[in-house]
Chains A and B, each alone.
Chain A
Amino acid sequence: MDTMASLQGLIGGVLIGLSAVWLMATLGRIAGISGILSGLLWERPAGDTAWRLAFLVGLISGPSLVMLAGGGAGNVVAEPGAVIGAPVGGVTTMLVAGLLVGLGTGIGSGCTSGHGVCGMARLSPRSLAATVTFVAVAMATVYVVRHFPGGTP
């Protein structure tokens, strides 16, 4: 096990938790990325759009600042210290995956942040069930892609 990678994971996790607590303390909202951004794109409720746009800008500026700081605080497998890892597939794979992620998190009312972090912290039975389901299905998907005969190793 890579101790440094795990430690960075823990620090990153605490920062994500602080983000969720901050958003609840100030705006009273769940820090669910799919809900915040799909609402920003396709709903734009009055008085509820500017903070979502600001959240989106902040979300992209986080990794940008780590890159600009240049201290090698990223945690990429192939290049220690780098911040953004390369996609694992081409455009076709990503189009299929993106559609499934959007459709699934839209229908299922949340993703890794809304269900996995905030919902689990609220001890919500729906979020626990959703999290177990998407983690198990994602593991099964990776198994099929990587380990079935004919899959890419």
Chain B
Amino acid sequence: MKTLPGYVAGLLFGLGLAIGGMTDPTRVIGFLDVAGDWDPTLIFVLGGAVMTTFIGYRLVWKRGVPWLAPRFALPTRRDLDARLLGGAALFGVGWGLSGYCPGPAVASLAGPSLPLVAMLVAMAAGWWLARRV
């Protein structure tokens, strides 16, 4: 019952990444390279995504409950802590080195290469490790 909506969500996400150019690490690093020949594409992707989600979430929340689940599963914490900011900083180093954040890295399996597979294996190991530290 939840499988089809899960697939549709992944498909829309994958289409968005592909059309937006986020499955090209050179585009992503072009955005991160503020001292070089700056590429603004990522700002348009992030801006379009945040604006759509901002409006859509509010319309959806007005209904009170999701269609296929008993309630909305939303994070409630609002405090900043060392794990949040330290984790974000570690992620930033990896993102800057590779130009891959998790979504584009996984979606890029549509055109696999050895370095990409290495990235994904190490990422899975990192997720395992994160559950133990």
Where the two chains meet, the residues of A that have a C-beta atom closer than 8 Å to any C-beta of B are: 1-2, 5-31, 33-34, 37-38, 41-42, 50-67, 73-78, 82-91, 93-109, 111-113, 115-122, 124-126, 129-131, 133-143, 145-147
Contact = CB atoms under 8 A, between A and B. Distances in A.
B41 A9 contact: yes
Given A25-B67, A99-B94, A138-B92, A106 B129 contact: yes
Contacts of B72: 24, 28
Interface residues of B, number: 117
Given A34-B127, A67-B110, A142-B29, A102 B122 contact: yes
Given A54-B3, A57-B10, A76-B27, A13 B49 contact: yes
Interface string B55-83: 01101110101111111111101111001
B20 A8 contact: yes
Contact of B51 (A8, A17, A129): A17
B48 A17 contact: yes
B110 A64 contact: yes
A120 to B, nearest CB: 5
B67 to A, nearest CB: 5
Contacts of B113: 86-87
A18 B16 CA distance: 9
B84 to A, nearest CB: 5
Contact of B21 (A5, A30, A139, A141): A5
